[in-house]
Amino acid sequence: MGNQQIRTPQQQRSIEKRSKIIEAGYQLFCEKGYHHTNTAEIAKLAGVSTGIVYSYFKDKKDIFMYVIEAYENSVAAPVYEIMKSIDKPIDLAKVIRQMIVKLTESHTLVKSVHEEMQALAHTDKEIGELFYKFQSSMAANLVDLMNQFDIHPTNAYEKAHLIIDIIENLSHEMMYQQHEYLNYEVMTDVAVNAIVDMLMN
């Protein structure tokens, strides 16, 4: 299947068919994991032939990358909605806490698939670049938000990247790691205070 012509869907029916393949991939990757899912299974669940799958996607990894992109967008969407709805004067601690809550709630991947995704981001260049692109976009949006509210910390992009890492790692801890010895209310307070301090200096 290496030389097949990949189509970019134009008509609504084709767009819906491609979306069904991505949705089927997402469901099967969650149920069985990336390595235990094959293209034929994805095609069957999507209600299309394997040939149709290969007309829209190069291979299983290509589907997986679209699943990652769709998932990352769904994770980021609630945070962007918070950004758009902020009023002046801004209550930084309140907004950051809302972002943590929304980001944690939007992490809906099962633990095994999340771990596979993270592992592949380290071992596969294309998947790693996809995560890099997403992180860069999030950081740029956060810096834009700072400027919008006249928040001008030193080293804004570096701090934006760190802030995203803090919130993301806290969300992953609460959703996937769940260490019994940790108090997540205390962790959230520490994270919020650290982020506010970064933004104000």
Write the CB contacts of 182 (distance below 8 Å, at least 6 apart in sequence): 173
Give the pair of three-digit tokens for residue 193. 């205070």
More confident residue, 76 or 158: 158
- Can you give the residue range of the structural domain that contains 179? 60-199
Same domain, 64 and 37: no
Mean pLDDT: which of 47-51, 68-72, 106-110 is highest? 47-51
Same domain, 93 and 144: yes
Query: For residue 156, is pLDDT > 60?
Result: yes
Mean pLDDT estimate for the chain:
89
Could you say which of 40, 58, 76 is where a domain stops? 58
Dihedral sign (CA 70, 105, 165, 113): negative
Q: Which of 24-33, 85-94, 106-115, 121-130 has the lowest mean pLDDT?
A: 106-115
Query: Under DSSP, is residue 63 helix (H, G, I), strand (E, B) or coil?
Result: helix
For 51, what's the count of Cα atoms within 13 Å in the CB-facing half-sphere?
Answer: 0
Same domain, 77 and 165: yes
The share of the chain scoring above pLDDT 90, in percent, equals 61
Indicate the number of domains in the chain: 2
Query: For residue 183, is pLDDT > 70?
Result: yes
Nearest alpha carbon to residue 139 among 125, 155, 124, 127:
155
Query: For residue 129, is pLDDT > 80?
Result: yes
Report the pLDDT value the prediction gives residue 74, as an integer from 0 to 100. 84
Same domain, 7 and 76: no
Give the pair of three-digit tokens for residue 46. 């999507």
